[in-house]
């Protein structure tokens, strides 16, 4: 029984150490045979389930646990985003046009081709800005 799990009958994981037969014999001599048929498995499962339901943590419990780390990280991410946004406005003002701006231009009477061209230039400018930022 050195390579079998008692409860499943499957092979042991490779990271589990080999079982020592001498130690097993000593423990069986001291404790007796394993009472697999004497255990009320249904009662055990219901007790485990009840314990899990009793320990249910509401979502705000996790928020409370992580707030000391999350608030400074969120503040740092906000500052970094604001800095990058202001930097992009200063260095690439042509990248400011967006899809709603394009739709507004078309609705206002601009030819769709002109609005699409302006939008495509803004997308390629934003991509060039991202490349410049990475370099």
Domain ranges of the chain: 1-56, 57-88, 92-135
Phi then psi for 32, rounded to 5 degrees? 90, 180
Model confidence over 38-76: pLDDT tens digits? 888 899 999 998 988 887 777 777 778 788 888 899 999
Our measurement of the distance from residue 30's CA atom to the centroid of its chain's CA atoms, rounded to an integer in Å, reads 47
Q: How confident is the model at residue 7 (pLDDT cuts 50, 70, 90)?
A: very low
User: Do the Cβ atoms of 21 and 2 come closer than 8 Å?
Assistant: yes
pLDDT at residue 96, rounded to an integer: 60
């Amino acid at each position: 029984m050195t390579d079998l799990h008692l409860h499943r009958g499957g092979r042991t994981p490779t990271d589990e150490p080999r079982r020592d037969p001498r130690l097993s014999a000593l423990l069986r001599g001291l404790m007796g045979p394993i009472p697999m048929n004497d255990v009320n498995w249904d009662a055990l499962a219901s007790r485990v389930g009840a314990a899990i339901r009793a320990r249910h943590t509401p979502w705000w419990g996790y928020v409370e646990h992580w707030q000391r780390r999350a608030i400074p990280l969120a503040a740092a991410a906000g500052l970094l985003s604001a800095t990058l946004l202001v930097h992009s406005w200063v260095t690439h003002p042509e990248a400011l046009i967006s899809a709603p701006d394009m739709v507004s231009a078309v609705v206002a009477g601009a030819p769709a081709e002109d609005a699409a061209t302006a939008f495509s230039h803004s997308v390629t400018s934003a991509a060039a800005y991202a490349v410049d930022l990475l370099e």
